[in-house]
A and B are shown apart, each in its own frame.
Chain A
Amino acid sequence: MALSPKEYDRMTKKTAPNSKLGHNMLVAFFVGGLICTIGQGVLSWLLYLDLPADDAKTISSMCLIFLSALLTGLNCYDNIAKHAGAGTLVPITGFANAMVSPALEFRREGLILGVGGKMFTIAGPVLVYGTAASVLYGVILAIIR
């Protein structure tokens, strides 16, 4: 059994089934699209109620975040995401789920080290590099203007 890691890697790749990429992308497209349509629906409704555009945009985002957090707490979000994949991950709802799920999970370790300390374990990198990227682009924009 003098198999090299490279040969074994090839054997493993041949044996392991791939994710159903086409199917996954299709479900992600429709669920992601549905979430965005709901967001757009809320926005249109708020604008119809004569709210200023900036406020309406913020409130519609907040609605989606609230819904995502609620569904996470009701043990629904992960069951939808199991099928939807990137469809539930990419919109703002995925970010809310990434914050709420560790907060729930690590509640047992206390409010400080558990909820407080672990809440950002998944979303933390997005915040760090998102903020860093926005600073970088801000500087670039300031220079080319």
Chain B
Amino acid sequence: MRSTRTRLTGWLLVAPFCLCTLLFYVYPALRGLSLSFADGWIGEFKPSLAAWGRVFSPNFWKSVLASGRFSLYMLPFTGIAVAVVVGMQHLPKGFCTGVQTALYLPTLAAGVSMSLVWKTLFHPSKGLLNLILGTETLWLADPAIAPISITVVQAIPTLGPLIYLMSTFTAQIPDTLYEQARLDGCGFWRSVFRITLPILTPVILFAVASALMTGSTMFAPVMLLTGGGPAHATSSLTWLIYETAFIGGDLPRAAGTSIIHTIATLPIMVMLYRSIWREI
């Protein structure tokens, strides 16, 4: 008697989550697929293959390149996070909390606040960055430098959570392990490579995967700082899709691009969350 009733209430309990998943994830994904095999303007789509012909335009490849660049430039920040966590080991707890908090503040300002501030700092003649560095760099107008500038704006706020996360891993390593290693004649670098990094490997993989994802999904700083320019150098795939759909009005082509984007990022997503299959 227990089981039937229990199960029924069980399905009722999971219903809101599952129905919302169907409505806002599964249905849109299928709709996106069907939209890419249609053509026309909003409200009057007809079945057609024409949109796919427009997907692989020169701008698409420029966006692929820009996304790749962003991903590549994101990677050093993972390294910085690892370095900070390794550096914090064996230091007084109060100091570490201070550093963690300082690095978390930019996370709270991520998106619009950070973009507005950096836009000001990047200004070539009146910005403080050139003043401090004594340079005359065009931070947002030079196609070679703009992707780096945009990445910095996006990447600094990712450090805070990542460092919290990595610290929970290093906190599990007993201090005696390091003492033992030192007694055995193991230097600082050796104990970093032999003890700390192996423990951190899963987080580092996670961080690398999310850095790769961030590259192609970069949006707020692109919109607020460069608008995809100069010469499409900062046009991430998400920006291209937004631009095609909502500025150009070509929804089918944008849908096609987003399907390619999804397929391309699927391996990264699987890498990000691969352990779910084992753990659940």
Q: Do A and B come from one complex?
A: no
Interface residues of B (CB under 8 A from A): none
Interface residues of A (CB under 8 A from B): none
